[in-house]
């Protein structure tokens, strides 16, 4: 069997699939891969969370950086790979869709929010670090562009994109949801991730360590290739629709 046929076979035998996605699933939607060869961190230094808390200069740097990519995130649309994962959910086979991505494209594609776990937060919201209020980013960018000053909440707290910054703790609830799904699934598939960023990349490994089949779909090698039951080389935008199209509906749960 070819790796693609093997993946189809694994999917047909599964009822509770854990999907784990990274930047590679969204490059086809025009979202840059922040850590890849052309990654923007090569040209800009990341703002660490501690610096955001302690320095106005760092807060300006954060907003300036987010503004640079704001329109690209705002205007990005899901691609065929995202839509294939919506089909997988409709087939009744999706346990959870755990993502490292902050683009919100899985929800935009139509996967249920209760299936999606965004481990690194989302650019679709701005959050107040004091009261936790969430708001639409757009008016804050308009204000920042006009005044050059960082937007603040009505409560006086600092506003920040609802993403997990370098040096910021992982969201506990999302990590727990992802780990629970890894403990329940009967198949894990990593898509478009080099699986190098921890603790996020530990999630599919929790499933693999339980002995459930583990498939990896990625362009180029990953840090977990040695643990994979099957490794499919290539672009998720081409592979996923073809694979999911061959999977019949799962049994009712
Ligand atoms: Zn507030």
pLDDT in tens, 51-107: 999 999 999 999 999 998 898 999 999 999 999 999 999 999 999 999 999 999 999
Q: Quick check: 240 and 7 in contact, CB under 8 A? A: no
Is 70 exceeded by the pLDDT of residue 40?
no
Residue 162: enclosing H or E segment and its boundaries? strand 159-163
Q: What is the whole-number distance in angstroms between the Cα of residue 212 and the centre of ligand 1?
A: 43
- Residue from 62, 120, 140, 198 carrying the catalytic annotation: 120
Whole-number Å distance between alpha carbons of 50 and 167: 7
Q: What is the whole-number distance in angstroms between the Cα of residue 134 and the centre of ligand 1?
A: 9
Describe the crossing of helices 172-184 and 202-209 by its angle, rounded to 10 degrees: 30
Assign 132 a pLDDT band (cuts: 50, 70, 90). Answer: very high
Q: What is the whole-number distance in angstroms between the Cα of residue 126 and the centre of ligand 1?
A: 11
Q: What integer best gives the mean pLDDT of the chain?
A: 94
Q: Is 120 a catalytic residue?
A: yes
Is 90 exceeded by the pLDDT of residue 35?
no
Is 50 exceeded by the pLDDT of residue 253?
no
Q: What is the whole-number distance in angstroms between the Cα of residue 152 and the centre of ligand 1?
A: 8
Residue 117: enclosing H or E segment and its boundaries? strand 116-118
Residue, of 36 and 193, whose pLDDT is higher = 193
For residues 198-220, average pLDDT: 97
pLDDT at 41: 57
Q: Which of 207, 162, 200 is nearest to 182 (CA)?
A: 207
pLDDT at 36: 54
Residue 253 half-sphere exposure toward CB, CA atoms < 13 A: 13
Q: Which residue has the tokens 């929790």?
A: 206
Whole-number Å distance between alpha carbons of 137 and 122: 11
Q: Which of 22, 14, 29 is nearest to 88 (CA)?
A: 14
pLDDT at 252: 47
Q: What is the whole-number distance in angstroms between the Cα of residue 113 and the centre of ligand 1?
A: 24
Q: Which of 26, 77, 35 is nearest to 196 (CA)?
A: 35
Cis ω before 199 (30° cut-off from 0): yes
Which letter, b or e, does each residue of 115-134 get, where b requires 16 or more Cβ atoms within 10 Å of its Cβ? bbbbbbbbbbebbbeeeeee
Q: What is the whole-number distance in angstroms between the Cα of residue 123 and the centre of ligand 1?
A: 18
* Percent of the chain at pLDDT exceeding 90: 89
For ligand 1, a single-atom ion, the residues with CB < 5 A are: 128, 130-131, 133, 153, 155, 157
pLDDT at 154: 96
């Amino acid at each position: 069997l070819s790796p693609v046929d093997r993946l189809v076979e694994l999917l047909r035998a599964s009822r509770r699939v854990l999907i784990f996605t990274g930047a590679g699933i969204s490059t086809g939607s025009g979202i840059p891969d922040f850590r890849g060869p052309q990654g923007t961190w090569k040209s800009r230094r990341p703002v660490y969370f501690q610096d955001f808390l302690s320095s106005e200069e760092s807060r300006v740097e954060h907003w300036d950086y987010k503004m640079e990519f704001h329109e690209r995130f705002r205007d990005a649309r899901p691609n065929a790979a995202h839509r294939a994962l919506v089909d997988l959910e409709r087939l009744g086979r999706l346990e959870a869709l755990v993502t490292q991505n902050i683009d919100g494209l899985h929800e935009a594609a139509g996967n249920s929010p209760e299936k999606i776990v965004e481990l690194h937060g989302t650019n679709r919201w701005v959050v107040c670090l004091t009261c936790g209020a969430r708001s639409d980013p757009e008016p804050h960018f308009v204000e920042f562009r006009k005044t050059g000053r960082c937007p603040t909440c009505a409560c006086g707290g600092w506003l920040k994109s609802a993403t997990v910054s370098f040096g910021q703790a992982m969201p506990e609830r999302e990590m727990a949801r992802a780990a629970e799904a890894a403990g329940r699934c009967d198949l894990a598939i990593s898509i478009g991730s080099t699986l190098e960023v921890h603790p996020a990349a530990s999630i599919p490994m929790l499933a693999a360590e339980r002995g459930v089949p583990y498939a990896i779909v990625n362009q180029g090698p990953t840090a977990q290739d040695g643990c994979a039951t099957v490794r499919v080389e290539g672009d998720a935008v081409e592979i996923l629709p073809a694979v999911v199209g061959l999977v019949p509906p799962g049994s009712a749960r």
